Structure 1
């Protein structure tokens, strides 16, 4: 049975809880009742609090990435070698050379940029929210002379209407989905940890002279079903097999946010029907479960 990816290795819950706490603090600051009627000095003080929270999130993210991306990469490398040894029994774990170190660095840098961009977007949202409140206050002052007494609830109502669809929620992924900061942080953390795990395994295969991998099967209902069970070349150098880099042309979801698919070793000489797998892997349509079983794929439903 194919081993499931153990995301607890990466302490994702710690990062998510950290972001949830920060997000709640930010929401308190940008509440209409908290901003309404504040002087410019008071608003500057609130914005300083925003900057402090965002800086703490940024620094905490760096620490988390530095501790957990390398560990997840290592885990993926170890698990891939173990799975390969079940098939061949000849591969040993070696030290991480500069290739592995560079790969970890790239994934870590990309991970940090993803979080950093999210925090920048949140900052823009909050600055915009402050500006909208100030604008509505000025409109209210022009209309009533001063924001006080019985005019305050009406001005507050106007501001709430303006900000109804505005706030710290405009984080949008490549698929166009909108996320709040805490849920976005969890999605991004899971996605980058799975990527680190997968790349760690794939590079270990290449290092040991293996080029073919197979996509795990989970009975996907989205476009991932088009690639489940198919065999790909990691380097593009194995004749008659599609290149893994081309997999995005087959599916809009594979290896995207929260995708649970991964690659596993594939050794054609150990398969019952390698020619059939090769043929099926080059077709645009999905491989049906019945066909997968017929050609010998035995991991259907594993790795959820």
Structure 2
């Protein structure tokens, strides 16, 4: 795939990293963000998608990733597999999973297993985990990434629409976590759990109310279990990504493409995130390097949340000349 620009990262990670302005790569269908959709400051924030951890960081470890066939799940699986993990990816579409598993295995040289699972169905979750245990053993890493979402005025939502989203996001995460967690407790085996939610799980958001509510529940679930199940050797953390363009998500959340045109104006670093950047953070949080990190909810959004939440942040549009006038008026104010 042709690259727009290539940079060398100034940071000194554990592995040499090539940073580039390619977006939406690392296992997802390649999508490029044109120069019109990035802000000038984005040149200061080059993209590093190469695995930052040492090779073999996940050697002899099993990782179970829901929603692993596409998007962020595929990106995280690619990174974990490249670091030595034996990965198991799960979703409803077995054909997509098998294709992804074969693709990643060829790329990394490590076996990737495909297991069909409908996270909304307790029987399907049990059958999938049974297969994982029989094939590779209990997982050392569990990533709850399966999700569902679409935009809609809340007054247009049916009861079934609400149930579908909350069943996938909140109930699905709970079913997978409880099934695997109970087995880990019985086997006296620890594990690192990670959930992928969203920045509006914290703030709330209109027009995606079922998703916002369910993701907030996932955040609470992970923080609660971090407190309760640490004694069993389990860690629980959450990543709240900002806008990351994947084909499936944007087709439901920005079907006209209009939102994407103004999206980077809301992000201080001036660009969207990538699956590879999320994958590196996910790998760290699930690794032994983060063994003292539990109950953390980490925003990774280029500063979008803080820009939207600051009451006076829109004043960044005020020009120098306007500030001169305002400052003069403020100085003349009685009692200043």
State the TM-score, normalizing by the size of structure 1: 0.24
* Larger Rg, first or second structure (1 or 2): 1
TM-score, normalised with respect to structure 2: 0.23
Q: Whose RCO is larger (CA < 8 A, sep 6+)?
A: 1
Give the structure with the larger helix fraction. Answer: 1
- Structure (1/2) with the larger strand percentage: 2
